[in-house]
Structure formats: structure tokens, C-alpha cells
Chain A
């Protein structure tokens, strides 16, 4: 095992560990991140080799880069000493390689003049290869952490590391720009932001050739994110209008074209999730979604609001054809409870996912009455992550479950139902007032 340094982005620090662990597991790599500190963007981890380091960082959205660690210290002198002591055997390996130096400062930076002086100070490495600013064989990086107190700029770092760059992340490769909703051809009010939809797909372990299903696809945010990682995307939604989009240039298919992943797109189907038409034997590897909770879109299922009134309508005939079989028939919808829908989602996932397959979905919760047992559970699904994104009075949580085999016996429960928690929608529109609880 060797030491590698991960440098994280300043975004969703409580999602970092789940993302990196999931990517590691996807490649069969075991990684210990138990010492990860959300306050700190630098983390030293132990890995077998560079390939492993590359594999855990390549797709990452919350990481920025990973470095083979050559040394660390409180100041430049300590850093030099540490590099000489722990990495002198590596100097020879890169003696003839073309290279350049890079500097990363967290909460602080150096002037160009100091940078040059610092590069000089590393001359003990005795590299003989040419310095190349474009596409060098190796990039040696000085990473520094500054602590800022008050309004004063920090001038000297608190900690320094020196490492050989192994892999920069998808984030550094500008994936967030690429998937930015502002530049996406087709979006709607329900579109999910690029960053967290990509993170969701990483944690859900979407991968090359894996079937990824979003049962509440809307404008297809998770579908395009999944396709970016090679997933084969299928979506469904009860609302035909969002699936159809606005025109041939402004619909879900146009988005896949925009990202060059059309091959990865199977189809979107107009479908009520609770009356599902996907054949039972179809292997769905991963389910990623943002269920309807009624704020921007209704939570509805097929059915008559008033069954008594609707009785007998199946016998209505128009132009010699049963009305409900005609092309222009509009299937009535009725309201439904989020808690029931989540039950349905867990049951469906438990029956359709392969062992080891993941279900990842977002669940909104009101902060004043949230208790952990409100998170729905299913005997065959192990909840492995509950990652909170906090807003003012409410949160949404990315819940991630793994389908287990029969030897796993969990508990099926639904605290939303058993505690009679008010539907999220109602709380939301009442400003989460005490009265609306």
C-alpha cells in the first residue's frame, strides 16, 4: 500500500466519502476513509497503485485530484526533509521524464516569484528531463493549506504536501460546465442540477453498459447524467408533456444528442410507476430518481378520484370503439401519498435490482419533525447512505440502498406512514409552520 493525497472540491463535503467509496467499490478497490474530515479538503488514503488512484478519481465530481504522496510538512524545510526521507528512491524513476510543477493553494496562494523560488528549492530532486508546460510526462504538485482568520489574507500555509499528479477529476475536466442546465437544450422546472445528478449517479454506481432506470424521469436529468458514465438509460413519467418536450430540438432526445450519448438512450415511456409495464425479467442494474413530492409537480397515479361517479365508464363507446381504448383517451389521475409511493419504489427495487444493485433517490424532509425512522426501509435493501442537503427549514436527502441476497434480513418499515407525518407538500406550502405539523 502506498500513500496518496486526495484534494477535494469545496462542495457538498458530506457527500465526498460516499462518492469516493462507491467509485472505489465499483472497481473492486477497498479504501478506508473513516478519517475523512468534512472541514478539510485534503485527505491521505492508502491504495495499492496508481491505477487504483486513477480509477477512484477519474469520474469523481466532488474530488479534484489525486497525487502520489512524496512528502509533507508544516513549512518548506520540513517538506523538503520529508520528501528526501520518504521518497528518495522515486527520484531516479522520473529522472529523464519531461515534467512541470503545479501549485495548489487552499485559502491562499503564492506570487509567481515565490513559486519560481520554490521550484528552484526542489532542485535536489535532480530531474534531468525537459520542462514542458504542455502535456509533460509528469506533473509535480505542491499543495498548500492556509488558515484564514478574520479578514486578513493568510501569507504562510499551515501545511504543505508534495506529490506526483496521478489523476484529475471529471470536475476539473469541466464536466459541470458541460452539463450546466443553463446550456442544456431541454430543461423544465423539475430539472435536477447537474452537479448533484452526476454525484447521484456516481454513488448509485451507474457504469458502462448497466441499465439505469429513472421512474420519475421528467426532463431526464438523471438519464443524461447516467449516460455520461456509460449507463443505458430508460425513463418513465406519468406526465406525457414533460417527456415530449417542446420540439424536436428541445426534448430529452435532443439533450442526449447535445452530449453525444444518444446511443445510450433507450426511451422514455409514459407510465404510472405504480402500474409498471417494464417486464419483470428485465434486469435493471440501477435506479436513480427524484420522486414527486408535490411541490413543483403533482403526485398522481392513474385512477378515478371518485370511483362511484366513474363506475361503468369502461362501457362507454364512441364511434363504435370503447372510449378508453381510443388514441385520444385521457386517463384520469387521482392524488396519492408520498409515503405509499416510496413504499412502492422500495418494493419495486427490491424485486427488480440484482443483488448488489443500488437504488438512489432524493427524499425531502421537514427539519422540525424529522426522525431517522422516517426513512423507509425494506427487508431486502440495506440503507448505506443518508446524505443531507440542508435548506432553511427543510432538507433533501440522497438515500442509497443496496439490494442484498436472502441471507440479509432487514426490516420493512415506513415511519412517514406509521407516525402520520404530514405530506411534505402541505408543510412546504404552509412555510413549515408549527400549525401545519
Chain B
């Protein structure tokens, strides 16, 4: 599971879908691997528009990275040199950081999901369906 994906998923329990607490999930006991992928700065700057930045910062913190700015980097231009460094770092974080194993838990209901062999499992036990 890419770090990127942590920005798209929340708790699958119906009562949590609209809860502000449930997103992002809380990431614990995660085993990370860096996997090199093609770098396209434009791809990252477009992707950025889709992201909930607060959740990115939060999940990075869960995973032990405190270095992200509190507000979303704006106006990044792949042609500018200082933008390039930021985009490259974001690429490394979002696209190349894989969570291979780990737990995701809901801050609203407390349910725990597992990431196994890089695939997150959101299937629910019967009493939560």
C-alpha cells in the first residue's frame, strides 16, 4: 500500500464514513519499504490538488516523519528549482513509500484493519456490517 493511498481511505464502518475523527486512520506497527518508481513532477503537482494535506501530515507523523510543513505546498512549478526539490521529496513519500505490513485503526470506533503483503484489508467482521 502506497503512502498516497492512506489519503484516500477511511473507516469502512457505515457510522464512521462521515465522522471527522475517522480520517485519516491511525497507522501503527508499520513496516515500510522504499520502492523506486518513475518520477514525473507534473504528476505529483496534479496529485497534490487531490490530497487532504492535514491527513498527509498526520500519517507521516504516525510513521515517524515530522518534517512536513503544516500547510500544503502551493504554487509548485516543476520548472522552478526550489519546487523541484519539494516535488521530488513528495514523490519519494507518496509514491515510493510502501507500507508492507501494519495496522490501521479508526480514531472514531477503534476498529483495527491490517495491511498484509502490501494490501490493506478493509473487510469487516459481521457485527460491524
Interface residues of A (CB under 8 A from B): 209, 211, 232, 234, 236, 238, 240, 243-244, 262-263, 266-272, 275-283, 301-304, 307, 310, 313-314, 324-325, 327, 329, 331-332
Q: Are A275 and B12 in contact (CB-based, < 8 A)?
A: yes
Q: Are A324 and B122 in contact (CB-based, < 8 A)?
A: no
Q: In the docked arrangement, what's the CA distance between A211 and B95, Å?
A: 16
Point out the residues of chain B lying under 8 angstroms from A269, CB to CB.
1, 5, 9, 119-122
Point out the residues of chain B lying under 8 angstroms from A332, CB to CB.
125-126
Q: In the docked arrangement, what's the CA distance between A329 and B122, Å?
A: 12
Interface majority SS (helix, strand, loop, mixed), chain A: mixed
Q: Are B123 and A331 in contact (CB-based, < 8 A)?
A: yes
The stretch of B37-45, B62-70, B71-79, B82-90 in contact with A is: B37-45
Q: Are B122 and A313 in contact (CB-based, < 8 A)?
A: no
Point out the residues of chain B lying under 8 angstroms from A280, CB to CB.
10, 17-18
Q: Are B10 and A279 in contact (CB-based, < 8 A)?
A: yes
Also in contact, A304 and B50, with CB within 8 A (given A263-B38, A269-B119): no
- CB pairs A–B below 8 angstroms (29 shown): A209-B46, A240-B121, A244-B119, A262-B38, A266-B5, A266-B8, A267-B1, A267-B2, A268-B119, A269-B1, A269-B5, A269-B9, A269-B120, A270-B119, A270-B120, A271-B12, A272-B123, A272-B124, A275-B14, A275-B124, A277-B12, A277-B122, A278-B8, A279-B8, A302-B129, A307-B126, A314-B125, A314-B126, A331-B124
Interface residues of B (CB under 8 A from A): 1-2, 4-5, 8-14, 17-18, 23, 37-38, 40, 43, 46-47, 50, 52, 95, 111-112, 114, 116-117, 119-129
Q: Are B123 and A324 in contact (CB-based, < 8 A)?
A: no
Also in contact, A240 and B50, with CB within 8 A (given A263-B38, A277-B10): no
B47, B124, B126, most chain A CB atoms within 10 A: B126
Point out the residues of chain A lying under 8 angstroms from B46, CB to CB.
209
A206 to chain B, nearest CB (A): 15
Also in contact, A282 and B111, with CB within 8 A (given A270-B120, A331-B124): no
Point out the residues of chain A lying under 8 angstroms from B5, CB to CB.
234, 266-267, 269
Q: Taking A267-B1, A268-B119, A270-B120 as given, write out 11 further A-B residue pairs in contact, using a Cβ cutoff of 8 Å, ordered by the A residue number.
A: A236-B122, A266-B4, A267-B120, A271-B12, A271-B123, A278-B8, A282-B50, A302-B124, A302-B125, A302-B126, A307-B126
